Structure 1
């Protein structure tokens, strides 16, 4: 089971004009409570990493281990820029131009960082995933077209530099060099007290899934210090 973040995929958005990461974390924890899970490991990637981190900070007795896979650190001009340009609203229209906007938004995240910086300086080292994978990635966004941007904005606003040092559970910080947030990998790890680190295999290669599974399994089954 993999519940959607509130306002994404098939889930309803929270009844808030500007939800924050703590709101999304409380919603995710409510799902865990409904499942009857008292103590658990948490894995989160990108926005999910911030959500998982907040659950771990608020409820350290319930989180056995935490995995942060790809987390961005935003401040100053970059934070203002991505809030203004990255997390934009996309409205449906009769000519279906919104579908092309969705496709390019999803596609260009693999090519540039930020995705709208379509220049040589903004080019990411990897390439596009297989067409089927890009299709599967892209069709999820239209389900939540009216609320997806709120999750992005919550992540961009979240004060991660202040929150990471408050983690008090065993933590693994990892990222793939294919990830657009890989440049933040070492800085994130340095802010998380005592965090273990691991570089994941490149995306869309045969070794990605088994290599990542092995790294996560080793961390989650490691004896406690």
Structure 2
């Protein structure tokens, strides 16, 4: 089932969301520090019953952060209501997992008229001791360092969160039953942390500090179903919940499939039809193109149908490194947020140009502006960056970006290949964006070859 991706402006912030399926609407709020990416498999399943709408919450995924560095759970709830306004959703049924559920329960308290029902997967009720430990150790700063040391910490922090909960508590008593060392699964979370940067502490911190208040037994409220399956670290927290209103129910289930089935039934009884059209911004989105060798989505940014040139980024880069005030730009296939080629990425320029010309026509651009051909052997310029068991690919990519500021090509580190640069070029925040673009560049080697095969 197809998942489409969109951007919408919410005040001065840009919010990214995914949509899938048909039928009544279910809003899906992800856990921290993840993004709506984590719901893709679930959306393809639930899309048979619902129109699933999954936004990236502020500061996560591709959504802008809130302006307040000390934002509270109320700020995140208000931002969610503002998003419903921007999308044109008067009221919705909603699902949230872990911190996504915390945001929803708090938003229900502040704006009950915007919801018909909630389904919550795992709801944390922290003890005083747990809250103290989280506030002191759970959210250390995540700032890029000059030589990429922050990436070694990140890899091990994300990996070991599947070994211990909380991740920093390595006592035997803190071991959990979902331990693994799968590089692909770890990498998926790593990339979302790289998207958030230090902003992860704002959203995650707001959830961890949030009061765990639920309505009293006699209060009138919307229907809420809280479930937790046996392997969930919040499974035992079901027993910590206080007496609930008559419209609320909380129970333990055996498996994730049990949780999904019961939540589908609950939401299906309360979901509302979708509006005729969801809100969407006019200067960023995703094109769906079908050309020889490529069929998928291209991420674009700029003002379309304005007769501006179409700027194309260099191999291993992305549109976020281009100026789109006077041009449109796209992420090429196999780069940035765009889909991959349908098969192996081509090395002939004609195949790439077919996609570029289709994008030019769709965006109403006047001309295509290609980047200079890169210097060096594409095989050496873009070595394999497949995730490995120890996260070495992360620091390898960082070293490539850093060396590329001083030598051309980067792998010829000698006086003859030295290039001029200013010290600001080595600013870790600058390197951070280029490092992320390189990690997203699955077809950089092929695009470099095509640029050289003119």
Among candidates 54, 59, 62, match of residue 7 of structure 1:
59
Residue 175 of structure 1 deviates from its aligned partner by 1.6
Among candidates 265, 274, 282, match of residue 218 of structure 1:
265
Name the CA shift for 1:104/1:193 in 2 (closer, same or farther; >3 Å): farther
For residues 41-95 of structure 1, the C-alpha deviation after alignment (integer angstroms, 9 at most, x for no partner) is: 0111222111111221122222111112122222423212211100111211122
Q: Which runs of 5+ in 2 are unaligned?
A: 1-17, 19-53, 271-454
Name the CA shift for 1:93/1:9 in 2 (closer, same or farther; >3 Å): same
Q: Which runs of 5+ in 1 are unaligned?
A: 203-207
Residue 191 of structure 1 deviates from its aligned partner by 4.5
Structure 2 equivalent of residue 122 of structure 1: 174
Describe how 1:50-61 pairs up with structure 2 within 5 A.
50-61=102-113
More helix by share: 1
Structure 2 equivalent of residue 100 of structure 1: 152
C-alpha distance in structure 1 between counterparts of 2:155 and 2:70, whole Å: 25
Residue 37 of structure 1 deviates from its aligned partner by 0.7
1:147 and 2:194 matched: no
More strand by share: 2
Structure 1 equivalent of residue 346 of structure 2: none
Residue 219 of structure 1 deviates from its aligned partner by 1.3
TM-score, length basis structure 1: 0.85
C-alpha distance in structure 1 between counterparts of 2:140 and 2:232, whole Å: 21
Please tell me whether the aligned partners of residues 72 and 210 of structure 2 are also in contact (alpha carbons under 8 angstroms): yes
Residue 163 of structure 1 deviates from its aligned partner by 3.9
Greater relative contact order (Cα 8 A, min sep 6): structure 1 or 2?
A: 1
Which range is displaced more, 193-202 or 107-116? 193-202
Structure 2 equivalent of residue 170 of structure 1: 223
Name the CA shift for 1:81/1:99 in 2 (closer, same or farther; >3 Å): same
Please tell me whether the aligned partners of residues 56 and 167 of structure 1 are also in contact (alpha carbons under 8 angstroms): no
Structure 1 equivalent of residue 99 of structure 2: 47
Structure 1 equivalent of residue 70 of structure 2: 18
TM-score, length basis structure 2: 0.44
Alpha-carbon RMSD across the aligned residues, in angstroms, is: 2.2
Name the CA shift for 1:16/1:42 in 2 (closer, same or farther; >3 Å): same
Figure out how many residues of one structure are paired with residues of the other and give that number: 215
- Who wins on radius of gyration, i.e. which is larger? 2
Residue 14 of structure 1 deviates from its aligned partner by 0.9
Among candidates 187, 191, 195, match of residue 240 of structure 2:
187
C-alpha distance in structure 1 between counterparts of 2:128 and 2:227, whole Å: 25
For residues 121-163 of structure 1, the C-alpha deviation after alignment (integer angstroms, 9 at most, x for no partner) is: 1001222275423321221111111210122211121111x34
Please tell me whether the aligned partners of residues 87 and 150 of structure 1 are also in contact (alpha carbons under 8 angstroms): no
